[in-house]
Chains A and B, each alone.
Chain A
Amino acid sequence: MLKKFVSAAAVMGALTTSALALDVDPALKDYKKLSGVEGSMKSVGSDTLNNVMALWAEGFKKEYPSVKIEVEGKGSGTAPPALIGGTAQFGPMSRPMKSGEIDDFEKKYGYKPAALRVAVDALAVFVNKDNPIKCLSIAQIDAMFSKTRKRGGKADIKTWGDLGLTGEWASKPISLYGRNSASGTYGYFKEAAMGDGDFKDSVKEQPGSSAVVQGIASDKYAIGYSGVGYKTADVRIVPLSSKDGGTCFDASADNAYAGDYPITRFIYMYMNAKPGTKVDPLRAEFSKYVLSKQGQMGVIKDGFYPIPSAIASQDLKTIGAE
């Protein structure tokens, strides 16, 4: 899905990313404050996006001090029911809605929910900082995490020795960390890395993205997946290749945009917007804020990668907020 936009982004030549600090696409618009925006709204959805939603809410409230925004994040799966029930105006999700969820929405409103792509997240595979592993292929990851091995791994991978590590590592069993099943990260990893196979029972399911990283930080022989933004000094991100023996790509912004890094996803914000009509000013302005320079700085602050301006303007058009 990302690859489609690579050309657009490349043509614009607008993506400047340095090795250290990331910057937003300079073609993104500056957010301009309007008058007469007020009211209250609520966001219910992904816990991965909890922080960035809170940052957006803080930034938006700086522009419009009287707007009230509530942020609730207990997993992507909670977003569709909240949107359908009308208890939330925004449903941030770390995965696209499933067709069943879209059908439920359509049954009630007669149209599909509008989706904004608000950030790019490279799902990183973390190991302890002392782990010497250089590179992993998707098939190897699948053979570690999955009991069904749909990515074509021949044998189950149980120890670090199975991945070619020597010395003290060779005989040590791999300890697996992952997210709980309400999480969009769980669903996306399952789909993108395991071909919708089943997780092994030995995966330790954690209640939050940073809990995965903390688990790996304190367990020397651990491996786990979480958003790239949750990296700490105690863990290391393993470069990944899509094929066995292929080139390994680091989870950098450039590799994510180019589609070289194999587990990259968009992060969405869903809302109830009738196609062909304009949404109310409050929601329109919030969406514009999120997809502005200021909003995308928040994305960087929370450790995700920002959206290129081509995608931002395309998505804003769908809700009539351009």
Chain B
Amino acid sequence: MTDSYIPRGQAASAENTAGRRTDLRSRGEPALWSLGGALALGIIMILGFLALVFSNGIATFIPKPIAVVTETGGQVTAGEPFRSESFRPTVEEVATLPPDWQARIKSAGGMVNRTLYRMGNFDVYGEDFRWVADYAVAKREFPANMVFVERMEWGPFIGTVKALTIDGNAQPFKSIEDPVFLQAHQQALDRADDIRDIERGRIGDINHRLENERLALRKVELAEGRTSAAYRDAQDRLNTLSVTLQRDYDALAAEVTKLREASARNTLTLAAVGGEEKTIEFAALVRIYPANDLGFWGKVGVYLSRWGEFLGGEPREANTEGGVFPAIFGTAAMTLLMVLVVAPFGVITALYLREYAKQGRLVSFVRISVNNLAGVPSIVYGVFGLGFFAYVLGGSIDALFYPERLPSPTFGTGGLLWSALTLALLTVPVVIVATEEALAAVPRSMREGSLACGASKWQTIKYIVLPRAMPGVMTGVILAMARGAGEVAPLMLVGVVKLAPELPIDGIFPFVHLERSFMHLGFHIFDVGFQSRNAEAGKPMVFVTTVLLIALVTIVNAAAIILRSRLKRRFAGSQF
């Protein structure tokens, strides 16, 4: 009974206030709280996601110390401690342990810690990671002479430097800062650059010219037949050209061989912790650093140089190492091309719908259809792009303009152009809707003023309506761009590949190669995350690439937002 007892006076006042106050629901308090709560939840989720991606991505390139662990069984493991977790060893395993460990495990509720070490040396051990349980550790040290070696092939090597050979002569190894060592490494890198220049640039050029001549011959053959005089001329031309080019090629190839031989005389012998030795050329050395003997600035140096390689380098070892420059380039090129297509198309469509079309059932129907387009799953656009753009359009282009290259397709397969068009199709509803809104928001009085001054309808649109709608149009384009840069699923069908041999824009005429397939950061994330041999080693790369993709989208968006605010400012003063 005590629960329901309310002193008389208080009960009366409660009734009074209830009578005077409005209902809680109509005051909007709960709505305010739930709206605020939803916003907070959204922000927390986004921040949490960004924190996860950035903390993992930014930490990846920090050089870690190398531990040398001697196990009670005698096995020695050298590696970077990668991560730790606690686990429950089996009863049989616990029974074999010394009594003090048994007691410790028992007091911890049967749980014990273990650490994953990244051992590297895949070519020596056949595996690159190893778990070591705490109770198996007899000794754990961080010797100063351990080096972490990043190689062009086979992933990292962890061990010590045994010997070095420079110009065929054995040299005593002093330290990594030894000028002899540094000079040998720098020379090897320069030589590798030279080889690359010759192979990619000059030999590539020779091949390109030869290929063009061969295609010209094939074209003549298709047009005039094998017996015509023109065909014989073309054949002669090809023959003379190939003789001279072959001579050039041989000279360049000899140069490369010489460089390679010089390279092979400078080697480095490394020893793993178990004594296994590996001899590698200086040219195969990407980076070497004494992981346990690295000061703060040394760490910063390694960290920055890794980022530099990642941003500017080409992928190695089936994309799990090296850089992602081709993917950055491909993503940016594709997104910009998409904007070039989607912006005019979207704006023109919206202009017609809003300004010229007679508002009726048909226009509403078109508008509904456009809105519905935005809800179609993106993979459907991919299928459409492949079926219509690549096979139908591209196939006809090939048949008409590149018959000499058939059966290998030029435009008849996925490529940069088809990807950009597919994504333009995917994002065009966004631009149309945003532009229509922006056009509708231009005050009627301004149009009427313009018309009253004697301007035609088109002049009104061009000089009065469009400039004022521009910030809204930009918003639509920004949204489209953000959506396009992050979209991967349709691209997998229409032109993104794991390994593209060339960039879509280069120094060879016609400079922009719309038919080439390209690499994309989003696909790179999928590929490294789900397809690479070593999932453990691939994971950090996934985070780094994600950070990069987010950064790229942010930069592009920020640029567009700055442009928009400039536009807004320009018209801010001219309004009433």
Residues of A participating in the B interface, judged by any CB pair closer than 8 Å: 20-22, 35-36, 38-40, 42, 47, 50-52, 54-55, 57-58, 61, 65-66, 68-74, 86-87, 89, 129-130, 132, 167-168, 206-211, 213-214, 217, 229-234, 301-303
A211 touches B530 (CB 8 A): yes
Interface status of B538 (Cβ within 8 A of chain A): yes
B501 touches A68 (CB 8 A): yes
Provide the bound-state CA to CA distance between A214 and B249, in Å.
47
A71 touches B498 (CB 8 A): yes
Of B203, B250, B412, the contact of A66 (CB 8 Å cutoff): B203
B531 touches A73 (CB 8 A): yes
Provide the bound-state CA to CA distance between A214 and B154, in Å.
22
Tell me which of B2-10, B117-125, B353-361, B468-476 binds A: B117-125
Provide the bound-state CA to CA distance between A209 and B91, in Å.
33
A230 touches B498 (CB 8 A): no
Of B90, B210, B492, B533, the contact of A230 (CB 8 Å cutoff): B533
B122 touches A301 (CB 8 A): yes
The number of A-B residue pairs with CB atoms under 8 Å apart is: 136
Interface status of B232 (Cβ within 8 A of chain A): no
Known A21-B124, A50-B318; contact A210-B408, beta-carbon cutoff 8 A: no
B536 touches A87 (CB 8 A): no
Provide the bound-state CA to CA distance between A177 and B543, in Å.
24
Of B131, B210, B249, B407, the contact of A233 (CB 8 Å cutoff): B131
| Residues on the B chain within 8 Å of A20, using CB | 124-126
Smallest CB gap from A231: residue in B: B127
B 344-376 contacts with A by CB, 8 A:
none
Could you list some 9 contacts between A and B, CB below 8 A? A58-B318, A68-B501, A70-B499, A71-B497, A71-B498, A207-B530, A214-B530, A301-B122, A301-B154
A130 touches B87 (CB 8 A): yes
B531 touches A233 (CB 8 A): no
Whole-angstrom distance between the Cβ of B284 and the nearest chain A Cβ: 12
Smallest CB gap from B253: residue in A: A35
| Residues on the A chain within 8 Å of B533, using CB | 51, 210, 229-230, 302-303
Chain B binding surface, main DSSP class: mixed
A232 touches B154 (CB 8 A): no
Interface status of B200 (Cβ within 8 A of chain A): yes
A51 touches B530 (CB 8 A): no
Known A20-B126, A70-B497, A72-B497; contact A232-B204, beta-carbon cutoff 8 A: no
B530 touches A70 (CB 8 A): no
Of B501, B529, B532, the contact of A51 (CB 8 Å cutoff): B532
A210 touches B535 (CB 8 A): yes
A39 touches B211 (CB 8 A): yes
Known A65-B203, A132-B90, A210-B533; contact A70-B126, beta-carbon cutoff 8 A: no
| Residues on the B chain within 8 Å of A208, using CB | 529-531
| Residues on the A chain within 8 Å of B210, using CB | 38
Most buried by A among B130, B204, B206: B204
A86 touches B407 (CB 8 A): yes
| Residues on the B chain within 8 Å of A42, using CB | 408, 413
| Residues on the B chain within 8 Å of A232, using CB | 129, 534-536
| Residues on the A chain within 8 Å of B122, using CB | 301
| Residues on the A chain within 8 Å of B497, using CB | 70-72
B498 touches A233 (CB 8 A): no
| Residues on the B chain within 8 Å of A89, using CB | 408
B531 touches A50 (CB 8 A): yes
Interface status of B437 (Cβ within 8 A of chain A): no
| Residues on the B chain within 8 Å of A130, using CB | 87-88
B318 touches A230 (CB 8 A): no
Provide the bound-state CA to CA distance between A38 and B204, in Å.
10
B500 touches A210 (CB 8 A): no
| Residues on the B chain within 8 Å of A50, using CB | 318, 498, 527, 531
Known A21-B124, A38-B211, A130-B87; contact A51-B531, beta-carbon cutoff 8 A: yes
Provide the bound-state CA to CA distance between A168 and B529, in Å.
32
Interface status of B419 (Cβ within 8 A of chain A): no
Interface status of B167 (Cβ within 8 A of chain A): no
Interface status of B557 (Cβ within 8 A of chain A): no
A86 touches B536 (CB 8 A): no
Provide the bound-state CA to CA distance between A243 and B320, in Å.
39
Residue total for B at the interface (Cβ-Cβ under 8 A): 59
| Residues on the A chain within 8 Å of B538, using CB | 210
A233 touches B318 (CB 8 A): no
B130 touches A66 (CB 8 A): no
A51 touches B124 (CB 8 A): no
Interface status of B517 (Cβ within 8 A of chain A): yes
A210 touches B532 (CB 8 A): yes
A54 touches B499 (CB 8 A): yes
Digitize B102-146: 1 where CB-to-A-CB distance is under 8 Å, 0 elsewhere.
Answer: 000000000000001000001111110111000000000000000
Interface status of B70 (Cβ within 8 A of chain A): no
A66 touches B90 (CB 8 A): no
Smallest CB gap from B257: residue in A: A33
Interface status of B570 (Cβ within 8 A of chain A): no
Whole-angstrom distance between the Cβ of A215 and the nearest chain B Cβ: 10
A54 touches B498 (CB 8 A): yes
Interface status of B409 (Cβ within 8 A of chain A): yes
Whole-angstrom distance between the Cβ of B567 and the nearest chain A Cβ: 41
| Residues on the B chain within 8 Å of A21, using CB | 123-126
Q: A22-B126, A130-B87, A233-B131 are in contact. List 4 more A-B contacts (CB 8 A).
A: A35-B249, A66-B206, A230-B533, A231-B127
Provide the bound-state CA to CA distance between A78 and B211, in Å.
29
Provide the bound-state CA to CA distance between A51 and B536, in Å.
16
| Residues on the B chain within 8 Å of A71, using CB | 497-499
Provide the bound-state CA to CA distance between A152 and B533, in Å.
34
Digitize B75-90: 1 where CB-to-A-CB distance is under 8 Å, 0 elsewhere.
Answer: 0000000000001101
Smallest CB gap from A235: residue in B: B535
B204 touches A58 (CB 8 A): no
Whole-angstrom distance between the Cβ of B301 and the nearest chain A Cβ: 28
Interface status of B199 (Cβ within 8 A of chain A): yes
| Residues on the A chain within 8 Å of B450, using CB | none
| Residues on the A chain within 8 Å of B530, using CB | 206-211, 214
| Residues on the A chain within 8 Å of B320, using CB | 51
Q: Considering the complex of A and B, which 10 residue pairs feature the smallest CB-CB distances, nearest first? A: A208-B530, A65-B199, A233-B129, A66-B207, A86-B407, A54-B318, A68-B501, A51-B318, A210-B535, A211-B530
Smallest CB gap from B501: residue in A: A68
Interface status of B269 (Cβ within 8 A of chain A): no
Provide the bound-state CA to CA distance between A86 and B532, in Å.
28
A213 touches B124 (CB 8 A): no
B129 touches A54 (CB 8 A): no
| Residues on the A chain within 8 Å of B412, using CB | 87
Interface status of B317 (Cβ within 8 A of chain A): yes
A54 touches B319 (CB 8 A): yes
Whole-angstrom distance between the Cβ of B531 and the nearest chain A Cβ: 5
B 521-541 contacts with A by CB, 8 A:
526-527, 529-536, 538
| Residues on the A chain within 8 Å of B498, using CB | 50, 54, 71-73
A167 touches B502 (CB 8 A): no
A69 touches B535 (CB 8 A): no
| Residues on the A chain within 8 Å of B492, using CB | 74
| Residues on the A chain within 8 Å of B265, using CB | none
Interface status of B316 (Cβ within 8 A of chain A): yes
Most buried by A among B125, B203, B208, B498: B498
Provide the bound-state CA to CA distance between A47 and B446, in Å.
59
B199 touches A66 (CB 8 A): yes
| Residues on the B chain within 8 Å of A40, using CB | 408, 501
Digitize B183-220: 1 where CB-to-A-CB distance is under 8 Å, 0 elsewhere.
Answer: 00000000000000001100110111011000000000
| Residues on the A chain within 8 Å of B499, using CB | 54, 57, 69-71
